[in-house]
Amino acid sequence: MVMAVAVGLMTGCGGRPSSGTATTAAVAAGTTTAAKTTAEKAEEGIPAEEKTEAEKDTAAEDAEILVAAAASLKNAYEEELIPMFQEANPGVTVKGTYDSSGKLQTQIEEGLEADVFMSAAVKQMNALDEEGMIASDTITDLLENKIVLIVPTGQEGTMSAFEDIADAESVALGDPASVPAGQYAQEALTSLGVWDKIQDKVSFGTNVTEVLNQVAAASADAGIVYATDAASMADQVVVVAEAPEGSLADKVIYPVAVVGESAHEEQAKAFVEFLKTQEALAVFEAYGFSAAE
């Protein structure tokens, strides 16, 4: 009997785990979970709510956004505005794609994953908005531009008025079907009674940059572009005249907005708000734009 009692006591003492050992193991396990990376948590099925606050902040700030903008905005964006925004927002990368506003509209309709759209006319912005593809509350009429008649440097004595384009042997214009500068040109020249007179000598460009380059290379005797485009090649083209007052029904307005299906809405909104600051508007003005009234 004495031996049986002794064996029982020894078994009871040996089978009970040390409370200190259990606590240590639990702390180690908790520390391991806390130290896991977001990827490891995802792999092990740990709920997203268990991300650290630092991880949440990083996820909210880090993003790459795509800005679809009219070709006439490329220099201001690439040389000044995008670098300024990225410096102030180090977690955000901004990429730009530039073309005629009509082409960009079509690309967005066909699935281009743009986050911000800035057109050279309200027509394209309104069309996308009516289709439910724009965050309507973010639309802002940001800038105003002018359309001007240009000739190659050295040929400025050949014309003095906008309607003198009828005297040119070759003319470069943006295609009115998709290029806002071409649409404005058609409207102004029609109101001046010149549009029909130049149809047999017009070369239509797919965006305003093509028109500018044709005149700069003297491939065309004259062309109609934005004042900002002419200013970017002031050593190669000369502005002869602006579209006369009354030849356009509306001002040349550049609206900007967040695309409705943006995957990075927060960062896209931040970029649009940045463009509205005095600092950004000063850059636009340096490139020949003016703030829309």
Which ranges of 111-252 would DSSP assign to H, the alpha helix?
Answer: 122-130, 180-191, 208-216, 227-232
Confidence check: pLDDT of 54 > 60: no
Give the range among 35-44, 66-75, 92-101, 179-188 with minimum mean pLDDT: 35-44
pLDDT tens-digit series, residues 115-163: 999 999 999 999 999 999 999 999 999 999 999 999 999 998 889 999 9
What's the rounded Cα separation, in Å, for the pair 130 and 126?
A: 6
64 DSSP β-pair partners: 93
Ramachandran assignment for 154, one of left (phi > 0), alpha (psi -120 to 50 degrees), beta (any other):
left
pLDDT tens-digit series, residues 66-104: 999 999 999 999 999 999 999 999 999 999 999 999 999
Nearest Cα residue to 80 out of 288, 268, 284, 290 = 284
User: How many C-beta atoms surround the C-beta of residue 109 within 10 A?
Assistant: 12
Predicted local distance difference test score (pLDDT) of residue 12: 45
Average pLDDT value for the chain: 85
Nearest Cα residue to 226 out of 237, 142, 190 = 237
Which of the pair, 155 or 17, is modelled with greater confidence? 155
Alpha-carbon distances, residue 178 vs 60, 69, 70, 121, 175 (angstroms) = 36, 14, 11, 11, 6
What's the rounded Cα separation, in Å, for the pair 13 and 9?
A: 6
The CA-based angle 137-143-146, given to 5 degrees, is 140
**DSSP designation for 140:** E
Predicted local distance difference test score (pLDDT) of residue 58: 39
Predicted local distance difference test score (pLDDT) of residue 149: 97
Mean pLDDT value of segment 280-284 = 97
